[in-house]
A and B are shown apart, each in its own frame.
Chain A
Amino acid sequence: MNKKLLSVSIASILALGLSACGGDDGDNGATGPQGNAGQNGAPGSPGSPGAPGTPGANGEDGNGGASLKRLASAPLGAEFTGIFLNSDGVVFSNIQHPSSSNTTTDVDGKVINKGTIGAFVGVDFNNLGNVAAMDMPITEADKERVLSAVGNYMVLAQQSDALVSGKEMGDIIAADGSTLLKSSNDPDFNAAVSDGGTGYFLYSNWEDRPGGMSRIALTSSYGVTQEGMIDFSSVKGTWVNCFGTLSPWGTPLTSEELYFDNTADWYNINNNEAKSIAEYLGLPTDGSGAWGNPYNYGYIMEIGTEGTVAAANVADVKVNKLELLGRFSHENAIVMPDLRTVFLSDDGGNTVFFKFVADTASDLSAGKLYAAKVTQSAGVSDPAEAAFAVEWVLIATGTEAAIEAAIASFDGTVGEAKQITAQQINDYAEAKLNQDLDTSGTIASNPFADDRIGFLESRKAAAALGATAEFNKMEGVNINRGLADAWWSNGAANGAQAYMYMAMSDTTGAMSDGAGAIQLDGTNGKCGAVYRMKLVKNSAGLVDVTTLAPAVVGGPYYGSRSTNRCNTNNISNPDNLIILDDGRVLIGEDTGNHQNNIIWLFEDPAL
């Protein structure tokens, strides 16, 4: 190891941390090659970064002062998923699809060579204080373990661990309750809930096609009982369970990431993914009989409904899909402190930022779905500077009962291929806007008596209604519940501001294609960005956001490199994120552009 090099990189990271305090370096431009900031050079020790600041002025676009500290690194080939802050200050995070040829044992003797659920223990993330950043892993041994700047990564469960239920961790079982369809190595979203005593139940997604969810019981000292997998047969199975959050009323909200941009693909008999649903349901996979209903998948799903979240027996946990929160490629939903507003991110290409507003607090079964229409700062294309104004376009109004009944009307066969057509989507939008969008000479009426088109083909309906369908790889969107609640209950005034953050894994695609509402410079776009949204109280007295501003931007991007194509001292393809009680943000990467994926501790100069 080259000690000199190491110390230089430590100095530059620390110097970056310090420069953040001033908050007025904003015009440095792109976060980019962070090494430059090293000139500040001051020794890293003088702690309490951020204290001297009067950072407000540059808050919206001043990312030049961005403070990133490398907090943890994942083994080769793996991404960090399911980052979750528990009430005791422990942070859970999973290791998704690590290299199966990893043979390095960690301090507990575990080898992370399969999907792994774990937690950073021995540290209170809600009282983190100043953190000495860790360096890039260099040796193979370090590249193959979970390294962290604080605490110790503890493996809680791994793919194929034996479960009390008799099945294995990560098993995807068919609706019949017994047929093993597959074993997943893709743990994702975690949510810990109280077990009613001093321990927790940890719910974890298994992001597969169909998807799954496991539950393990943890004592207060993280002793593990491997319980079992949740039964989703009551909702006809689930699909690519991605990220999620815990609702304010204590239920995990898991997300179905639906990568079927066109519902017609669902009926393509050569498509193995649609077949896998038929297989789950016990239907003929050659399409000769009934087929899965495409509108049964692609939602936020609530786990532990009807008071079953802490049921003693995992088999008794009930689930419910929240169809009113729209059907698209859900990354996650986050419920606001008003208990009525829910923000929703949409993963994939040409995607939409959604908002749901419930009619009644704590009841997501009736309400309105909106989509964001954004306006980019004029004349600014640098992703590090370009902020967006957000307006909300109403997409649909309805009740869960009515939409569930509407969904059932699409039950059928491959031959019938029941689906909402492009013409119907156009007609729906014409009726809502009272405009002849397809210049057919007439303004069509809504083909249905309800707003099912907006709820079931949400992305296309949003685009037709004028919302911005240009986001690219939109990932985690989150708040710190305590900070947001405090801001809200104290009158939602500016000052003790609460923020929502959103990861955008990659800002190329429709975000940098030179057309439409979003026109960013794509030079470094493959490294992604994290956006900040100031929570505000709107005229309806509800939580809202009206701006979307870059908080930290990855890159530079070095396209010809064999590895680490994104600058290693900066974020790359951010995915999961959580906000700590002190407002700092943990940003987890899902990237092929860093050899080892990183969890960053980000101290936003806007705070």
Chain B
Amino acid sequence: MKYFISLILIMLSACDSSTSISEITEPTTQQSSDDAQILASLKFPSSPARSGRAVLRQAHAENIYNAEAVIPPQCYTKHDGEYNPCMTCHQSYDYRSRPNTMSDGGLQHVYAFSDLGTHNHWQNLFEDRRPRIAKISDQAVIDYIYTDNYSPLIEQLKSTADWQGPIPEIKNLHLGAAAFDEHGMAKDGSHWVAFNYKPLPSTFWPTNGSSDDVMIRLPAKFRQTSCKNKDYSRDTYLANLGILEAAIKDLSRISVPAIDENAFCEDLNQDGKLSVISEIIRPTHYVGQAGDEAVTVMLYPIHTEFLHSVRYVGISKDGDIGLPPRMKELRYMNKFAFFPPTHLVSQYGNENQEKIEGLLPQFINRGDKGTDNSFGWMLLGFIEDQQGQLRMQSEEENLFCMGCHTTIGSTIDQTFAFARKLDGAPGWSYINLKGMPDAPYVNAANTKNDSEGEIAHYLKTVGGGNEFRENDEIRERFFHADGSLNVAAINGLDVYQLITPSLRRALDLNKAYMTIVADQDFIHGRDANLQPVRNVYSEIDPESTPVLPGDKKVQWDIRLRWPNSSLNSVETALPLSAK
């Protein structure tokens, strides 16, 4: 418990800070002498600069470069018959044990692409960025990433008279933690809630080029009391967020910040009285004005929203890695339709049928509103223009989002981060990797006593530091010369220590991505590779490309077994309803 209290203290101190990066004030890693040298050479602005405005909308392109942009670059990694980076996305679970019945675990073994997909269109992977990186000064990176390009975008959306889409505004979001209170609630009253989660392996590890944060917002009725009036009730909102967390992770009980049950007149901890509680037992329905909404395991209620900012790798004046003001991308999701598991199983079946028939993926793009993933979610993405101002993604750039957020087996209701939230009350706060334990992933075979961390497992299984099985710094830090994992070097490290880069690497990763922004060729890939990747195919020959042997399959789970988890027995089957 002590650990969590210190986390909250850290959060509070961050809130008071006037520095622009969402930094962590209590350094826990020993900085190397290289890092100290770099830090001494840099000047940090006292407040962030602001970017200008972009040309918001992209012209409809008659032609598409890559109609299979739904297949991300990671899918072209060579497994060498041994390593398995595919497990993070492609999973099969017991038949109908989840609403996600994609059941694509077989794709861990084979490169099963359409004819078009056999060519790796992500040619940026093969670019040697080192000469261009060398021409960008370290200070230029600091100046660049300490620029707020989020607030100008929001202002622009508000002032665009014919804007049809959402305006995902959180005041001071560019400042990160400072925009949220002690329970992750946006201070501006927008009802967006930040939560602390373990980034998905491995694109979202800072050591691989990006930092990120994720916020969730539930519709108004989830924030309103029921038994007294219909007023806004923070306790009702926190209770419903807790219920949702238990549903998404399939937990029977979950801790919550102190909540007064009298706000919604439901005995959520089942102690026979209405009182201030710190834990809820998962009920069948949400509470407050949302009392008419049934709780469905692993599905969000209709009109749930997510906001995800993908940022450069931030460097604080103290040399900590965190989130800088500048965003690479701003990603928004809105669940416009709720499909129960009985509908989803049919829709996944259609998807499978279309794949059998060899059809190219089709998504309906609704302009300002985003792209319909055909499973009830609308996705809208903004990305930097050449001046670093956020603009709407083109249709093809948006297509890149649709593979991972539509038809892979590991996601829970097409999403990633929320299922990876630090369990319960301590997880209702802005993302903070420091002190976060490397919790193992949920697996029938691993018990609460099995302590192999997810990241340790990932590095070992993948044989490298990212999906491309590369990342020289991780290799140097955590692998033996013979390629095996250096378990001793990993033991006891927190998530921050495991997945954040040195300052040198952080600066170089940012520079690498800056060259992609300069080229504006996101359709060729968004990965901040410093040099040409070595372990990735440029062409897949379905006849000759080797398959991964069956015994290398990994039954992975996006969920984590945090300390004191109250996870249900793994894979409880969803009961089919009688009619």
B63 near A167 with CB under 8 A, answer no
Q: How far is the CA of A97 from the CA of B363 in the complex (A)?
A: 12
A259 near B346 with CB under 8 A, answer no
B346 near A184 with CB under 8 A, answer yes
Let me know if A314 is at the binding interface, CB within 8 A.
no
Residues of A within 8 A of B67 (CB): 562
Closest to A102 in B: B364
Contact of A562 among B92, B369, B395 (CB under 8 A): B395
B346 near A101 with CB under 8 A, answer no
What DSSP secondary structure best describes chain B's contact surface? loop
What DSSP secondary structure best describes chain A's contact surface? loop
Residues of A within 8 A of B337 (CB): 100-101, 113
A560 near B63 with CB under 8 A, answer yes
Residues of B within 8 A of A97 (CB): 350
Q: Mark A410-421, 1 if CB is under 8 A from B, else 0.
A: 000000000000
Residues of A within 8 A of B395 (CB): 562
Q: How far is the CB of A3 from chain B (nearest CB, A)?
A: 21
Contact of B374 among A99, A167, A272, A286 (CB under 8 A): A99
The count of A-to-B residue pairs whose CB atoms sit within 8 angstroms is 102
Residues of A within 8 A of B356 (CB): 259
Residues of A within 8 A of B577 (CB): 179-180
Contact of A171 among B60, B339, B579 (CB under 8 A): B579
Q: Mark A134-172, 1 if CB is under 8 A from B, else 0.
A: 000000100000000000000000000000001110011
Q: How far is the CA of A473 from the CA of B359 in the complex (A)?
A: 12
Interface segment, one of B95-103, B198-206, B503-511 = B95-103
Q: How far is the CB of A605 from chain B (nearest CB, A)?
A: 31
B343 near A185 with CB under 8 A, answer yes
Are A101 and B372 also in contact (CB < 8 A) when A179-B578, A180-B342 are? yes
Let me know if A209 is at the binding interface, CB within 8 A.
yes
Q: How far is the CA of A77 from the CA of B60 in the complex (A)?
A: 18
A182 near B64 with CB under 8 A, answer no
Let me know if B152 is at the binding interface, CB within 8 A.
no
Q: How far is the CA of A167 from the CA of B577 in the complex (A)?
A: 12
Contact of A286 among B95, B101, B345, B376 (CB under 8 A): B95
Contact of B343 among A99, A183, A275, A286 (CB under 8 A): A183
Q: How far is the CA of A182 from the CA of B95 in the complex (A)?
A: 14
Closest to B361 in A: A592
B63 near A272 with CB under 8 A, answer no
Chain B, range 32-67, C-beta contacts under 8 Å to A = 60-64, 67
A270 near B342 with CB under 8 A, answer no
Contact of A259 among B63, B94, B353 (CB under 8 A): B353
Let me know if A178 is at the binding interface, CB within 8 A.
yes
Are A181 and B342 also in contact (CB < 8 A) when A101-B337, A101-B372, A273-B349 are? yes
Chain B, range 559-579, C-beta contacts under 8 Å to A = 576-579
Let me know if A561 is at the binding interface, CB within 8 A.
yes
Q: How far is the CA of A185 from the CA of B349 in the complex (A)?
A: 11
Q: How far is the CB of B360 from chain A (nearest CB, A)?
A: 6
Let me know if B378 is at the binding interface, CB within 8 A.
yes
Q: How far is the CA of A140 from the CA of B360 in the complex (A)?
A: 23
Q: How far is the CB of B134 from chain A (nearest CB, A)?
A: 36
Most chain B Cβ neighbours within 10 Å, of A140, A182, A473: A182
Q: How far is the CA of A180 from the CA of B366 in the complex (A)?
A: 33
Let me know if B18 is at the binding interface, CB within 8 A.
no
Residues of A within 8 A of B352 (CB): 272-273
Residues of A within 8 A of B96 (CB): 279, 285
Are A182 and B345 also in contact (CB < 8 A) when A279-B96, A561-B64 are? yes
Let me know if A462 is at the binding interface, CB within 8 A.
no
Residues of B within 8 A of A185 (CB): 343, 346-347, 350
B336 near A101 with CB under 8 A, answer yes
Chain B, range 105-128, C-beta contacts under 8 Å to A = 105-106
Let me know if A173 is at the binding interface, CB within 8 A.
yes
B359 near A186 with CB under 8 A, answer no
Contact of B95 among A172, A285, A560 (CB under 8 A): A285
Residues of A within 8 A of B95 (CB): 272, 275, 279, 285-286
Contact of B376 among A100, A186, A240, A592 (CB under 8 A): A100
B579 near A173 with CB under 8 A, answer yes
B349 near A166 with CB under 8 A, answer no
Q: How far is the CB of B300 from chain A (nearest CB, A)?
A: 15
Most chain A Cβ neighbours within 10 Å, of B92, B345, B369, B577: B345
Let me know if B357 is at the binding interface, CB within 8 A.
yes
Let me know if A230 is at the binding interface, CB within 8 A.
no
Q: How far is the CB of A298 from chain B (nearest CB, A)?
A: 15
Q: How far is the CB of B294 from chain A (nearest CB, A)?
A: 15
B346 near A183 with CB under 8 A, answer yes
Chain A, range 26-58, C-beta contacts under 8 Å to B = none
A182 near B346 with CB under 8 A, answer yes
Q: How far is the CB of B170 from chain A (nearest CB, A)?
A: 25
A166 near B576 with CB under 8 A, answer no
B61 near A562 with CB under 8 A, answer yes
Residues of A within 8 A of B340 (CB): 183
Let me know if A366 is at the binding interface, CB within 8 A.
no
A77 near B578 with CB under 8 A, answer no
B374 near A180 with CB under 8 A, answer no
Residues of B within 8 A of A240 (CB): 353
Let me know if B396 is at the binding interface, CB within 8 A.
yes
Q: How far is the CB of B543 from chain A (nearest CB, A)?
A: 15
A100 near B374 with CB under 8 A, answer yes
A186 near B346 with CB under 8 A, answer yes
Q: How far is the CA of A206 from the CA of B346 in the complex (A)?
A: 11
Let me know if B139 is at the binding interface, CB within 8 A.
no
Contact of A272 among B60, B101, B372, B376 (CB under 8 A): B101
Q: How far is the CA of A561 from the CA of B342 in the complex (A)?
A: 35
Contact of A101 among B63, B103, B347, B366 (CB under 8 A): B366
Let me know if B31 is at the binding interface, CB within 8 A.
no
Let me know if B362 is at the binding interface, CB within 8 A.
yes
The 7 lowest CB-CB distance pairs between A and B, nearest first, are: A562-B64, A101-B372, A99-B364, A560-B63, A180-B579, A285-B95, A100-B337
Task: Please name 23 pairs of A and B residues whose Cβ atoms are closer than 8 Å in the assembled complex, sorted by A.
Answer: A76-B364, A99-B364, A99-B374, A100-B337, A100-B372, A101-B366, A101-B378, A166-B579, A168-B579, A178-B578, A179-B576, A180-B578, A181-B342, A181-B576, A182-B349, A183-B340, A186-B346, A272-B95, A286-B95, A473-B357, A562-B60, A562-B67, A562-B395
Further contacts, 5 of them, CB under 8 A, given A99-B374, A183-B342, A562-B396: A99-B364, A180-B578, A182-B346, A259-B356, A592-B359
B: residues with CB less than 8 A from A are 60-64, 67, 92, 94-96, 101, 103, 105-106, 336-337, 339-340, 342-343, 345-347, 349-350, 352-353, 356-357, 359-360, 362, 364, 366, 369, 372, 374, 376, 378, 395-396, 576-579
